[in-house]
Amino acid sequence: MSTTKQWSFSESVANMAERAFDALGLDSGVAGAIKSCDAVLQVRFPVEIRGKIETFTGWRAVHSAHRLPSKGGIRFAPIVNQDEVEALAALMTYKCAIVDVPFGGSKGGLLIDPRQYERSEMQLITRRFTRELVRKGFLSPATNVPAPDMGTGEREMAWMMDTYRTLNPEDINHAACVTGKPVAHGGIRGRVEATGRGTVFALREFFRHREDLDAAGLSGNLEGKRIVVQGLGNVGYHATKILQEEDGAIIIAVIERDGAIIDESGLDIQAVYTHLVESGGVAGFGESKYFEDGLSVLELDCDILIPAALEGQITAANAANIKAAIVCEAANGPITFEGDDILNQRGVVVLPDAFVNAGGVTVSYFEWIRNLAHIRFGRMERRYDEMRGQHMAQALESMTGSKLPDIVRDELVRGADELDLVRSGLDDTMRLSYQQISEELHSNDKISDFRTAAYAVAIKKIARSYLDIGVY
Q: Which residue is nearest to ligand NAD (CB)?
A: 233
Is residue 104 a contact partner of residue 71, using CB atoms and an 8 Å limit?
yes
- 139, 308, 327, 350: which one contacts ligand NAD (CB under 6 A)? 308
Q: CA 300 to CA 376: how far, in whole Å?
A: 45
With contacts defined by CB under 6 A, how many residues of the chain interact with ligand NAD? Answer: 24
Is the previous residue joined to 352 through a cis bond, with omega within 30 degrees of 0?
A: no
- 232 lines the binding site for ligand NAD (CB under 6 A): yes
- 314 lines the binding site for ligand NAD (CB under 6 A): no
Site for ligand NAD in 259-278 (CB under 6 A): none
- The CB-of-152 to ligand NAD minimum distance in angstroms stands at 8
- The CB-of-231 to ligand NAD minimum distance in angstroms stands at 3
Task: Return the SS3 of 147.
Answer: strand
CA distance to 61, 94, 137, 338, 339, per residue, from 4 (Å): 28, 26, 40, 8, 11
- The CB-of-48 to ligand NAD minimum distance in angstroms stands at 27
- 85 lines the binding site for ligand NAD (CB under 6 A): no
Q: Which helix (H) or strand (E) holds 367?
A: helix 359-373
Residue with smaller CB distance to ligand NAD, 141 or 259: 259
Concatenating the DSSP letter of every residue in 271-311 gives HHHHHHHHHSSSTT-TT-EEES-GGGGGGS--SEEEE-S-S
Q: CA 327 to CA 149: how far, in whole Å?
A: 21
- 70 lines the binding site for ligand NAD (CB under 6 A): no
- 256 lines the binding site for ligand NAD (CB under 6 A): yes
Neighbours of 332 (CB within 10 A): 27
- 422 lines the binding site for ligand NAD (CB under 6 A): no
Dihedral sign of CA atoms 125, 126, 128, 133 in order? positive
Residue with smaller CB distance to ligand NAD, 88 or 349: 88
- 64, 163, 179, 230: which one contacts ligand NAD (CB under 6 A)? 230
Residue with smaller CB distance to ligand NAD, 186 or 233: 233
Q: Which of the stretches 1-9, 27-35, 251-259, 282-290 binds ligand NAD when contact is defined by CB under 6 A?
A: 251-259
Residue with smaller CB distance to ligand NAD, 102 or 224: 102
> Per this entry, what is the length of the chain?
472
- 146 lines the binding site for ligand NAD (CB under 6 A): no
Neighbours of 73 (CB within 10 A): 26
Task: Return the SS3 of 140.
Answer: strand
Looking at the DSSP bridge assignments, the partners of residue 109 are: 59, 75
Q: Which of the stretches 35-43, 171-179, 329-337, 367-375 binds ligand NAD when contact is defined by CB under 6 A?
A: 329-337
- The CB-of-42 to ligand NAD minimum distance in angstroms stands at 20
Q: CA 216 to CA 236: how far, in whole Å?
A: 22
- 235 lines the binding site for ligand NAD (CB under 6 A): yes
Is residue 328 a contact partner of residue 351, using CB atoms and an 8 Å limit?
yes
- 105 lines the binding site for ligand NAD (CB under 6 A): no
Q: CA 419 to CA 428: how far, in whole Å?
A: 14
Neighbours of 337 (CB within 10 A): 24
- 150 lines the binding site for ligand NAD (CB under 6 A): yes
- 250, 331, 351, 413: which one contacts ligand NAD (CB under 6 A)? 331
Q: Which of the stretches 34-42, 108-116, 160-168, 325-333 binds ligand NAD when contact is defined by CB under 6 A?
A: 325-333
Active site residues: 107
C-alpha gyration radius of the chain: 23
- The CB-of-275 to ligand NAD minimum distance in angstroms stands at 12
| Contacts with ligand NAD, 193-212, as mask; x by CB under 6 A | --x-----------------
Q: Which of the stretches 60-68, 148-156, 167-175, 464-472 binds ligand NAD when contact is defined by CB under 6 A?
A: 148-156
- 61, 145, 250, 255: which one contacts ligand NAD (CB under 6 A)? 255
Residue with smaller CB distance to ligand NAD, 249 or 309: 309
Largest CA distance in the chain: 79
- 10 lines the binding site for ligand NAD (CB under 6 A): no
- 332, 436, 438, 452: which one contacts ligand NAD (CB under 6 A)? 332
- 357 lines the binding site for ligand NAD (CB under 6 A): yes
- CA dihedral 110→130→115→150, nearest 10 degrees, is -60
Residue with smaller CB distance to ligand NAD, 331 or 393: 331
* Helix boundaries (H) for 303-357: 337-346, 353-356
Q: CA 195 to CA 114: how far, in whole Å?
A: 22
What phi and psi, each to the nearest 5 degrees, are found at residue 118? Answer: -70, 165
- The CB-of-259 to ligand NAD minimum distance in angstroms stands at 9
- 430 lines the binding site for ligand NAD (CB under 6 A): no
* Distance of alpha carbon 186 from the chain centroid: 20
Q: CA 234 to CA 333: how far, in whole Å?
A: 17
Interacting residues with ligand NAD (CB under 6 A):
148-151, 195, 230-236, 255-257, 294, 308-310, 330-332, 357, 360
